Amino acid sequence: MEKRIAVTGFGALCSLGATAKEVWDNVCQGKSAISHISNFDVTAYRTRIAGEIKDLEAQLHLSKFILPKDVKKLDNSSIYGLIAAQEAMDMAAIPENYYDTWRCGTLIGSGIGGLRTMELQYDRLISGGPSRVSPFTIPKLIANMVCGNCSIRFGLHGPSYAAVSACASGAHAIGAAIDMIRLDRCDMVLCGAAEAAVTPLSFAGFCAMRAMSERNDDPQRASRPFDKDRDGFLMSDGAGILVLEDLEKAKKRGAKIYAEIVGFASTSDANHITSPLSDGLGGAMSMRFALKEAKLNPEQIGYINTHGTSTPLGDISEVNGIKAVFGDYAKSLPISSTKSETGHLLGASGSVEAIFSMFVINEGIIPPTINIENQDPECDLDVVPNVAREKKVDYVLSNNFGFGGHNATLILKRFMD
């Protein structure tokens, strides 16, 4: 009998809040995370706004366990991941010695890793020579170190590695965690992703691509997925971490189960380094395979949390993919993009949005796509414009796609014993 996958804990943070519930409540209220960048000089940049975590000291105070002496050893991506992981582990409340720690995994990704560390240490190298470079440089910047630090923090000795697939990293990390439990290699896995890529080099690169919105005078209305006047995505920093367990073992210890994950699939467009297929075929096949694994008909999905980045091509491609999979039902199926509130958390998007999907199931609220003023006729689905909606939902599908043609789809289910 195939093992069932329970979510027993989760944590998230971004510029909308320091906990998963705070972020979720602000998303449902239609608040925007986007503001003017203050951590570096953006005068010469086309885009000067982002979802920036401005008060790192406050985040460290909340963490309680990251000491000032430890900060110099950690990139912000690891700090965000550790804070979200602590929230998730506290929520899961797994009794000490309940699991063999050699059967507890840590699969946490990052789309970019410690980019700011790389920038700062390169500046030191150029200005002062190699002796000025910190000995913590490599352990801070490598993309697997969010995972490594969380494994060390919680003493998890099982499989430990990072999923790196651009903006699909968090979803792929969750998918790998599901496999570890179903294959009986783990009983519990800490999984998700963290990102701290609002940095000068990252911003310069995305600006050079003309990928981000240039609505600098109106930051809170700049991210507008599915709106005809969208002009690009907006970057954000943060993390989303989940605790997955073998359902039967979680039930045995009396754990609160927030949702089951019943479907996961991933595909590749195999087409272009940044542009999606215009017909959305790669995403469509990912959705089809996830539905097949979950043994569901399309009509059983009650809501889709879309990738919905607010890019001109990406939004249309995803809508076309949804239409191909859901047919006539697509017209009555509510979909929305929470990136309109949070901005684009890059690698952490998939795990943060999986957490939002659980809130939809448990609270019966579908978050809105904000800033819909003139809905694109090519995105002619029910995008839940501007105002959250009450609806009981038993199954949620969540999409995430990344540069390189990576596609990932998760399906979450209301827990019904």
To the nearest 10 degrees (0 to 180), the angle between helices 76-92 and 56-63 is: 30
Catalytic residue among 191, 307, 379, 406: 307
CA distance 163 to 241: 13
Neighbour-count burial of 81, counting CB atoms closer than 10 A to its CB (0-12 exposed, 13-18 middle, 19+ buried): buried
* Residue of 150, 167, 186, 207 marked active site: 167
- Told to judge if 36 belongs to the known catalytic residues of this protein, a careful annotator would answer no
Q: Is 272 tagged catalytic?
A: no
The question of whether 147 is a catalytic residue gets the answer no
Distance CA 400, CA 378 (A): 20
Q: How far apart are the first and last CA of the chain?
A: 16
CA-based nearest residue to 382, from 369, 392, 371, 393: 369
- H or E, element range at 355: helix 349-363
Out of 14, 186, 344, 379, pick the active-site residue.
Answer: 344
Map tokens 């039902």 to a residue: 329
268 SS3 class: strand
How far is C-alpha 342 from the geometric centre of its chain's CA atoms? 10
The candidate with the shortest Cα–Cα distance to 309, out of 226, 253, 403, 216, is: 226
Q: Which residues are catalytic?
A: 167, 307, 344
